[in-house]
């Protein structure tokens, strides 16, 4: 993903100014890291604006937890909802 910095509410990006970048994943995702003008897994990092910059960030889906259920039944049935488990 390419990140374009824009001027808002009077904020101006000055040449050689350091700016902090941070990545906030949506619920269910985790941040993997930056590539491009920044490298590594730090969610918060500082970038020196001495030229145009391209940052790429990667998020990955957090797999849902998996649980094991042990059932002992002697007088009845067990059904799964949704079906498909074993």
**How many domains is the chain partitioned into structurally?**
1
Q: Which domain holds residue 40?
A: 1-73
Q: What is the pLDDT of residues 41-84, one digit of tens each?
A: 888 888 887 777 788 888 999 998 887 777 777 787 777 777 76
Q: What is the pLDDT of residues 22-39, one digit of tens each?
A: 888 889 999 898 888 888
Q: Please indicate, yes or no, if residue 86 is contained in any of the structural domains.
A: no
Q: Please indicate, yes or no, if residue 81 is contained in any of the structural domains.
A: no
Q: How far is CA 53 from the centre of its chain?
A: 20
- pLDDT of residue 12 exceeding 80, the answer is no
* Assessment of whether the complete model's pTM goes beyond 0.85: no
Q: How far is CA 74 from the centre of its chain?
A: 46
In this predicted structure, what is the pLDDT of residue 14? 56
In this predicted structure, what is the pLDDT of residue 40? 86
Determine contact, residues 49/66, Cβ cutoff 8 Å: no
């Amino acid at each position: 993903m390419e990140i374009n910095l824009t001027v808002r509410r009077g904020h101006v990006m000055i040449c050689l100014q350091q700016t902090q970048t941070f990545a906030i994943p949506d619920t269910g995702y985790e941040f993997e890291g930056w590539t491009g003008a920044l490298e590594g897994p730090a969610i918060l990092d500082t970038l020196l604006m001495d030229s145009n910059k391209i940052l790429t960030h990667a998020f990955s889906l957090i797999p849902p937890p998996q649980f094991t259920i042990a059932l002992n039944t002697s007088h009845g049935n067990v059904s799964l909802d949704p079906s498909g488990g074993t």
